Structure 1
Amino acid sequence: MTMQLRDDGFRYGAVTRALHWAMALLLAWQFAGMAIKLTVGKAPITAFWVGTHKGIGVILLALIVLRALWGLYNMKTRPAHGGGFWGLAARGGHLTLYLLMLIVPALALLRQYGSGKPLDVFGVRLINGGWAEAPWMTAPANAVHGLLAWVLLAAIAGHVLMVLVHRFIWKDGTTRRMIG
């Protein structure tokens, strides 16, 4: 049996599933780190976890761009969301997730660039810095990055809830599309 890389009308391919689950794990890491920061405060574990936040955010931004491009490439062969209210809700929910997964790290990257400070991601310098802060670049993320991140977490919780509804209440086989 060969591995199906691309999506078809019945299930998501290996690439879509790999991107989905890699992002799920990295998002869980990000939110766990922020939860630890809020509950524990300053501590060695907080410093470690939060110390990876920017690097993981950059990786997530790259993955969501790849995922969106892959989704567009597979647009005509992706499993359908269905019709009616629930199909429209599924499309709207997925679009909301994609937009938030793109906007939240993009705002943080804009803030980082606008700060004039360097950005090193796991030992690789991505932004040299050395220029004056540009408040018009830092202000948007300062205002809404955290808030939109928590909205993203709420959207993810809604997504997980609907997975459970599909699996245990409707029993319609939808979860097999993503699990493989």
Structure 2
Amino acid sequence: MQSASPYYTKTAQWLHWIMAIIFISAWLIGFYSGNFLSYDVDGSFKGSVITLHKNIATVIIFLVIIRIFWRYTHPVPKLPDAMSPTMKTMAHLGHLVLYLLLLALPITGCLFSWSAGHPAPVLYLFEIPRLVQDNPELLAIVKPIHIYLSWFAGFVVLGHLLMALKHHFIDKDNVLRSMIGRKNKR
């Protein structure tokens, strides 16, 4: 559903930016703990960092469901007329891939955590009920999937950011402004 307004709704804008901050934070914390910390050297610190990663990342499951519902019940701005049909298709596919990754990453993260015998906490408030128990066979499958998906998601988000900047600085269209908000009227 497309809108005559050149801007996303305020709710869509807030959801977008909150999810962006959460995703980038969780990604950086996960990258740091996975590549620079060791249980042999920094055992309890690494455990605390991973717990922080999980507490932040699990929030995405809830926000992406709200965001998808909001996206399909509220109109979105039209893409610029100057964009080719191929570019418009690529933009729609890129957003679809982002939504799928925003679902797949926390789901595989929960499966990773549960199959390793750990909880999937949310903002230090509660835990997502375990759907699987300790399972080394499942862990051997979901751990690399989660890691590879995180790398792929990092590149997709970087591409998303670069395309937004391209629209703003090179194409000089309204694509980035549509997600930032309306200009103040004087």
TM-score range, shorter chain: 0.7 to 0.9
Query: For the Cα contact (< 8 Å) 2:110–2:120, is it kept in 1?
Result: no
Residue type at the aligned position of 1:167: H
1:98 Cα deviation from its structure 2 partner: 0.7
Residue type at the aligned position of 2:15: L
1:135 Cα deviation from its structure 2 partner: 5.4
State the partner residue of 2:37: 41
Q: How does 1:27-38 map to 2 (within 5 A)?
A: 27-38=23-34
State the partner residue of 1:87: 88
Where structure 2 has 5 or more consecutive residues not aligned to the other structure, the ranges are 182-186
Aligned-residue identity in percent: 27
- State the TM-score, normalized to the length of structure 2: 0.79
Deviations 1:92-129, CA, capped at 9 Å, x for gaps: 11111111111111122233444554444304243368
Q: Which structure has the higher relative contact order (CA within 8 Å, separation 6+)?
A: 2
- State the TM-score, normalized to the length of structure 1: 0.81
Count of paired positions: 171
Q: How does 1:1-180 map to 2 (within 5 A)?
A: 8-9=3-4, 10-38=6-34, 40-42=36-38, 43=42, 47-74=47-74, 77-81=75-79, 83-115=84-116, 117-121=118-122, 122-127=124-129, 132-134=133-135, 137-180=138-181
Instruction: Say what the alpha-carbon RMSD is for the aligned residues.
Output: 2.6
Residue type at the aligned position of 1:13: T
1:39 Cα deviation from its structure 2 partner: 5.2
